[in-house]
Amino acid sequence: MEVALESHKPQFTLVVLQVTSLCNLNCSYCYVPDRRNQRMMSEDIADRVFKLTVGSPQNADDSFDFLFHAGEPMAVGLEAMKRIADRCIATALPKSNFRFSIQTNGVLVNEDWARFFHDYHFAVGVSIDGPALINDKYRVDWSGKGSYAKTLRGIQTLLENGIDEVGCLATVGVDAMQQPDAIMEFFLGLGVAALGFNLEDVENSNLVTSFGENRSLKQADYRRDLVEPFFRRVFELWWPNRHRLRIREFADVLRAAALRRYDPSYVRSPDVARDLGILTIMRDGRISTYAPEFAGARAPEYDDFVVGHVDAVDSFEDVKKSANFLKLKRDVTSGIAACASNCEYYPLCGSSFVSNRWFEYRDLGRPDTFTCEMMRKAAVDVCLSEVTRVYSLQAADSSSPNRSI
Ligand code: SF4
C-alpha cells in the first residue's frame, strides 16, 4: 500500500494549553504527572502562545481549537481563566478563526463558570465514566471520595446555561466493559451531545490498569472477549438514538468508511499522526507535539518529547528544524509506514495510536498496540458488521422509513 505521508497538512488544528497540572481529583487511572503542583502558566507564556497562533498572519486562514487540558484546568480559577481568554482575544488578528474548548472533571462548574463558557463560546468536554457505581470506583478525590455527584451537578449546570456543545469522555476498564447497558442508559438520559470512550490504558504516569501491567504482544492478551460484546451492545442501544448522541468511536469509523466508499484511495489522516497537527504547550512554555499524552513523560531518547520552547521560536515552523523533532518525526513516520504495510484497518484508522506505541512497547515504529486492538480494530469490526446487519434488515423490510445513516 502507498503511504501518502507527504500529503499530510503541515498546519496545526489543535493547540493544547496545559495551564496547570494541578488536579482536584486523584483518578486511579490518570496519566498526568505532577497533579499536586499548584503552579500555573504565566501570562507571559500565554501571551507568547497567542502571538504565535492567533496573532500570526501565517495562521490567519486556518481554523483551530485551543484546548485547556490536563490536570484540571478550572483549578486556575475563573478570574485567571478569563484573563487568559481575554488576552487571547486581544491578540487575535481580525481574520483569526479559533475556538476555545476545555476538558474538565466538571466538579468546579457553577453558574459563574457556566456563564463564562457560554459567553466565550467554549466547547466543554466533561470526564465521567457513567453512573455512580462505575464512576466512583476510579474517579475519586484525594481523600478517596467519589466524584459522581459533583460532576453530574456540573454537567446539569452547563446544560441549564445553554451550552450546546457538552460532550462526555468515559474511560472504560474491565468492570465498565461488562456494563454497557448501565453506561448507555446513563449517557442517553443525560442530554449531552457527544460521548467518547477512552481505554483505561498504560500511559505516561499510569503504569497499571485493570487489564494488567504486562502487555506482551500476544493476541491472547487482547481482551476481544470483553471489548467486542461491549461495543456491540453500545452500538445496538446507540443506533436508534444516533441523531441525538454522537459516539466518537463510531462516528470516526463511519465517516472514514463513507469517504472511502466515495473515494477508494481515501486514507484517514488524524491530527495526532500529522507533523505539528497537535501542539501541546506545557505550563512552563515547553512545546510537545503529536499526542498530548507525551507532554511531561520521561523519555530520555526523545528529550522527554520536548521539541522547543515558545520563547525560543519565531514561529511554530521553527519547531520542524529542531533535532529532536526530526528524530521523533522519523520514528513516528516509520510507525505510520508499518501500520500502512501491516494493518488492514489502516485506511479507516490512519495510525492514530502514536503515543500508545511508546507507552506500551517503548517503540514508536511498532504498528499494533493493545489500545488500538481494543479501541480501533474492535470498533471497526463491530461498526461495519452492525451497519451491514441493520441495512440488510431494512432492505428486507421495504416499509422501513429510515434508510439513512
Ligand atoms: S489499528 Fe493499530 S496497527 Fe492498525 S493502523 Fe491503527 S494504529 Fe496502526
Q: Please check whether residue 283 is in contact with residue 296, taking contact to mean a CB–CB distance below 8 angstroms.
A: no
pLDDT of residue 215: 54
Q: Please check whether residue 280 is in contact with residue 289, taking contact to mean a CB–CB distance below 8 angstroms.
A: yes
Please tell me the distance between residue 247's alpha carbon and the centre of ligand 1 in angstroms: 20
pLDDT exceeds cutoff 50 at 400: no
pLDDT exceeds cutoff 60 at 91: yes
- What average pLDDT does the segment 367-373 reach? 89
Please tell me the distance between residue 55's alpha carbon and the centre of ligand 1 in angstroms: 36
| Residue 377 in contact with ligand 1 by CB distance below 6 A | yes
In the three-class reduction of DSSP (H, G, I as helix; E, B as strand; rest coil), residue 192 is classed as coil
- What average pLDDT does the segment 363-371 reach? 90
Residue-wise pLDDT tens digits, 98-124: 999 999 999 999 999 999 999 999 999
- What average pLDDT does the segment 149-176 reach? 94
The mean pLDDT value of the chain amounts to: 89
What are the strands of the beta sheet with 14-17, ordered from one edge? 246-247, 194-199, 166-172, 123-127, 97-104, 63-68, 14-17, 278-281, 286-289, 308-309
Q: Please check whether residue 159 is in contact with residue 114, taking contact to mean a CB–CB distance below 8 angstroms.
A: no
pTM as predicted:
0.90
Looking from the CA of residue 368, the nearest atom of ligand 1 is 3
Looking from the CA of residue 369, the nearest atom of ligand 1 is 2
Helical (H) or strand (E) element with 99: strand 97-104
| Residue 372 in contact with ligand 1 by CB distance below 6 A | yes
Please tell me the distance between residue 379's alpha carbon and the centre of ligand 1 in angstroms: 12
Q: Please check whether residue 74 is in contact with residue 124, taking contact to mean a CB–CB distance below 8 angstroms.
A: no
pLDDT of residue 221: 62
| Residue 349 in contact with ligand 1 by CB distance below 6 A | yes
- What average pLDDT does the segment 9-22 reach? 84
Report the DSSP beta bridge partners of residue 172.
199
- What average pLDDT does the segment 158-166 reach? 92
pLDDT exceeds cutoff 50 at 165: yes
Rounded to whole angstroms, how far apart are CA atoms 389 and 382? 10
Residue-wise pLDDT tens digits, 23-45: 988 888 877 777 778 889 999 99
Helical (H) or strand (E) element with 15: strand 14-17
Q: What angle do CA 370, 376, 378 make, to 5 degrees?
A: 85
Residue of the CA atom closest to atom 3 of ligand 1: 368
Residue-wise pLDDT tens digits, 312-355: 999 999 999 999 999 999 999 999 999 999 999 999 999 999 99
In the three-class reduction of DSSP (H, G, I as helix; E, B as strand; rest coil), residue 188 is classed as helix
pLDDT of residue 398: 54
| Residue 343 in contact with ligand 1 by CB distance below 6 A | yes
**In the block, which residue shows the cell 512545546?**
287
| Residue 339 in contact with ligand 1 by CB distance below 6 A | yes
